[in-house]
Amino acid sequence: MAGNRTFTMIKPDAVADGNMGAILKMIEEAGFKIIAMKYTRLSAELAGKFYAVHSERPFYGELVEYMSSGPIVAAILEKDNAVADFRTLIGATNPAEAAEGTIRKLYAKSIGENAVHGSDSDENAAIEGNFFFSEFERF
C-alpha cells in the first residue's frame, strides 16, 4: 500500500524569484497537508549529503553548488498516495518535458534549476524528512 507522506523542497531559484507563496498555494490546493516546514539554507556539505545518491552523476557538483546557493523551504506533506500524487503535481525533472499546469512547467528555469524537489519513493520520503526534521518537529 502506498504511504501517505512525501518530502519536498522549494529550491533556491523559486525562493529567490518570489514563487514560494504561489508554490505552497498549489501544494495546499492539490490537497496536501503541511505536516512540518522550515525555511533554511543548506551548506555545500549538507546539500552533498542530501544528494549523495547522485554523487557519481556528471551534474553532481553543479547540483550541490546550486542547492546551497540560497535559502530553500523544506516540508513534509501528507495526502493519500502522497509520493506519486506529488510527482504528478510537480511534473517532469526537465521543465521542457513537464506537463501543462505542473509546478515545474510554471516555475522551473531548467533541468538543473527546477523549482522543487519531490521524493521518489515512500522509503526516500521518510529518509529525506528525517534528514531535515527531528522527531518532535514531524509529529
Helix (H, G, I), strand (E, B), or coil: what is residue 74?
Answer: strand
Interface with ligand DAT (CB under 6 A), residue from 82, 114, 129, 132: 114
Residue 25 binding: pick among ligand DAT, Mg ion, none (C-beta 5-8 Å cut-off by kind):
none
Asked if 78 is part of the footprint of ligand DAT (rule: CB under 6 A), the reply reads no
Q: Which grid cell is 97?
A: 518535458
| 59 labeled part of a ligand binding site | yes
Is there a contact between 125 and 83 (Cβ–Cβ < 8 Å)?
A: yes
Size of the site for ligand DAT (CB under 6 A): 9
| 41 labeled part of a ligand binding site | no
With cell 516546514, the residue in question is 37
Residue 93 binding: pick among Mg ion, ligand DAT, none (C-beta 5-8 Å cut-off by kind):
ligand DAT
Interacting positions 58-77 with ligand DAT (CB under 6 A) = 59, 63
Between the alpha carbon of residue 139 and those of residues 5, 25, 91, the distances in Å are 12, 22, 28
CB nearer Mg ion, residue 78 or residue 120: 120
Nearest CA-CA partner of 103 in 40, 39, 28, 50: 28
DSSP secondary structure, 59-73, as one string = THHHHHHHHTSS-EE
Q: Which residues pair with 116 in a beta bridge?
A: 10
Residue 84 binding: pick among Mg ion, ligand DAT, none (C-beta 5-8 Å cut-off by kind):
none
| 81 labeled part of a ligand binding site | no
Asked if 108 is part of the footprint of ligand DAT (rule: CB under 6 A), the reply reads no
Angstrom distance (rounded) from CA 81 to CA 69: 32
- The answer to whether 54 is a known catalytic residue is no
- Please report, as ranges, the residues that interact with ligand DAT according to CB under 6 A: 54, 59, 63, 93, 111-112, 114, 117, 120
| Catalytic positions | 117
